[in-house]
Amino acid sequence: MDTTQILKIQTELAQRTLAQPAERHKRLYRFVCDEGWLRTGLETVLANKGSSTSGLDGVTKGRLDTNPDGRSNLVHQLHAELVAGTYHPQPVKRVYIPKANGKLRPLGIATLRDRTVQAAVKMVLEPIYESVFLPCSWGFRPLRSTHHALSALRRATSDPRMGFKWIIEGDIAACFDEIEHRLLRRVLKQRIQDETFLDLITTMLRCGIWEDGRVTYPSAGTPQGAVCSPVLANVFLHEFDAWYLRTYRVRPEWAHLAPSSLQYRRKTEIGGTLMLTRYADDWVAVWNGSRSRAEEIKAEIKTFLADELHLRLSEEKTLITHIDDGFDFLGYRMQGDKRWSDGQWCFFSRVSERAIRRFRDAVKEITRYTFTDEVAAFTALAGLIRGWGNYYAYAAESRLMDSLDGFIYREIWSYCRRKQRTLGAKAVYRMYTLPPHLREVGYFHLGAMMGEQAVRIPRLSGIPRKALRLGYPPHPYLGDIHTDVLPAPGTGDECWWDQHVWAGQEGDRIGQRRLVTAVRMRTAVCEVCGTQLVDEVHHDPPWHETHRHHPQQALAVCVACHRRLHGAKR
DNA sequence: TAGAGGTGGAC
RNA sequence: UUUGUCCACCUCUA
């Protein structure tokens, strides 16, 4: 399968979108029909663990692979149907899953064949819209994480020159379910001129929902669970970003102004600077003007969303707070405080109350049942601690981690005591304490033995704290080349918008993986033999010697050539 | 060092 | 009991 060709086309789509913003893409449908694209889409769908659950036709990955030609047959069939125009997505299976806040989330589970087509559609949409989206959009996008969003927000709010005072926390009610298909199509039309392709998206959106034997056809909502739903939601909500950009950041009539006078203009004509950070339907805007003006802005946002996008702002969840009171975003609590060392005012990232409560509940849930065997319970606990602790490694909360470790220890101990009711405390302690030579720093000394192997439970305090200072991600389809999404780089918080001014500090591994992406996007064909596909990146000097990377010094090579290069050196 | 599989977390 | 992105970890292969 020729993924090289696909990557090349995706890069072209991205480049063309950047170079010709006014031009609309034509003849996109042929890519979705292409057997190579469909095959790649199928492989990504099958790589997900969701491929073992079926849609309405009952086909799973296992069922598909009972026939050695199952995958090829499916791709052939989809190709034929798409070309003939007879392809119709089947209704999705309605399933409700509990959300973190206790409410239910409706999912629409499509069949594997429909997911394959959706994946192919996403492969077309993503390169185009990665060139369109603004830097304030962080949700559901490649190379961007919640931590990137928090980092950007922290960076802006802790800039004393900007003097941000007010926080408008926003939440768009039932966002995914209320996106109107007609409006979404109109938005897509701004960049895409291919009725067949748009029709395909519309039929995908309008495919029926099967529930209790009845099928309904909605006129709004992107089915949660569809491969391309996240990118479609972003395409739709980009209109919000774009409106924000032209009404609060750079008004069209200011386009000729130097960046330094922009801030002055904003101050006199708008009343201050508003900085938006959006993660899917969850957003935060920081404002350095007056409180009453903040109220007006909130109302303006509300009317824009209602009038232009037909979306509601949930009134009880949309609050205006002072920056000193802090605010919750993406599971973190952002709060300004005096720094302990020098008394300087500084912005800190902490763990939100809700996240702490949820973690404690999860620990209790694992240790509640004593009929589970201790190896299973301890491995589950280890996974929870590692995963949760890792997500909150960017919180400045050493004290909290210590106290949670104490809580976890008490829970484990009470679990052990309850499990061995007949034994005394000393006997239980002996039973669940790892032998000294198997204890490790950063782990509890309580644990279990599975044969020779010790099942250890990591301590939250053993996970190193990380600085919330992440660099700006590159364009995923263009690598590290300069992407002029915005009119001009500027001063103050404008720097934040300029992707190249942002001097970020990242973990080694992140930087390394970025390099792989950048180099891969550059060629996608082995730079040594020129024939085979790139699978590896060769460093000269080696990565472990310098720990620095320069895309110019790295070679994209295939496995065989990589081995040859290493062999020649030794 | 790179791939494949799996586990956990955030939204 | 699903989708997408991201992060971390573990195992295996060379």
pLDDT for res A375: 82
Tokens 């295939």 belong to which residue? Answer: A558
Q: Where are the domains of chain A?
A: 3-133+179-220, 355-487, 522-567
Q: How far apart are CA A208 and CA A473, in angstroms?
A: 37
Name the nucleotide with the smallest C1'–CA separation from A118. Answer: C3
- Least confident segment among A47-61, A107-121, A283-297, A486-500: A486-500
List all residues 6 or more positions away from A424 whose beta carbon is below 8 Å from its beta carbon: none
What is the 8-class DSSP label of residue A356? H
Q: Which of the four pLDDT bands, split at 50, 70 and 90, describes residue A201? A: very high
CB under 7 Å from strand C: A 44-45, 48-53, 95, 97-98, 107, 109, 115, 119, 122, 139-148, 224-227, 229-231, 280, 386-387, 390-391, 476, 507, 509-510, 513, 563
Cβ atoms of residues A562 and A527 within 8 Å: no
pLDDT, greater one: A389 or A262? A389
* Residue A209 CA from chain centroid, whole number: 27
Q: In the predicted model, what is the mean pLDDT of residues A119-123?
A: 91
Closest amino acid to nucleotide C9 (CA–C1'): A386
Find and list the nucleotides of strand C having atoms within 7 Å of a protein beta carbon: 1-9, 14
pTM: 0.84
**Where do the H-state alpha helices sit in A85-224?**
112-130, 146-157, 175-178, 181-189, 195-206
Burial category of A492 from C-beta neighbours within 10 Å (exposed 0-12, middle 13-18, buried 19 and up): middle
* Chain B bases near protein CB atoms (7 A cut-off): 1-3, 5-11
Backbone angle region of A345, left / alpha / beta, with phi > 0 → left and psi within -120 to 50 → alpha: beta
The pLDDT of residue A563 is above 70: no
Is pLDDT larger for residue A540 or for residue A400?
Answer: A400
Q: Identify the helix (H) or strand (E) that includes residue A543.
A: helix A543-546
Q: How far is the CA of A541 from the C1' of C10 (A)?
A: 30
pLDDT digits (tens, 9 = 90+) for A147-166: 888 888 888 887 777 788 89
- Which segments of A170-228 does DSSP mark as H helices, in order? 175-178, 181-189, 195-206
**Which pLDDT tens digit goes with each residue over A247-284?**
888 777 777 777 667 778 887 877 788 889 998 888 99
Is the pLDDT reported for residue A519 higher than 50? no
Distance from residue A414's CA to nucleotide C13's C1', rounded to whole Å: 42
**Predicted confidence band at A305 (pLDDT cuts at 50, 70, 90)?**
very high
* CA→C1' distance for A264 and C2 (Å): 49
The packing angle between helices A70-84 and A112-130, to 10°, is: 70
Name the nearest CA neighbour of A472 among A508, A510, A520, A516.
Answer: A510
d(CA A227, CA A116): 8
Pairwise CA distance, residues A275 & A135, whole Å: 11
Q: Average pLDDT in the A368-378 region?
A: 79
Of A1-15, A63-77, A466-480, where does the model show the most confidence?
A: A63-77
Task: Say yes or no to pLDDT of A524 above 50.
Answer: no
pLDDT tens sequence across A423-441: 999 999 998 888 888 788 8
The neighbour count for residue A90, using CB atoms within 10 Å, is: 16
Cα–Cα nearest to A248, from A320, A292, A304, A291: A304
Spacing of C-alpha A159 from chain mean position: 25
Q: Are A106 and A53 in contact (CB under 8 A)?
A: no
Residue A538 phi/psi, 5° resolution? -100, 130
- At residue A485 the predicted structure's pLDDT band, cuts being 50, 70 and 90, is very low
Pairwise CA distance, residues A473 & A287, whole Å: 25
pLDDT tens track for A30-58:
999 999 889 888 888 888 888 888 788 88
Give the end-to-end CA distance of chain A in Å, rounded to a whole number.
34
User: Does residue A94 have a pLDDT over 70?
Assistant: yes
- % of chain A exceeding 90 in pLDDT: 19
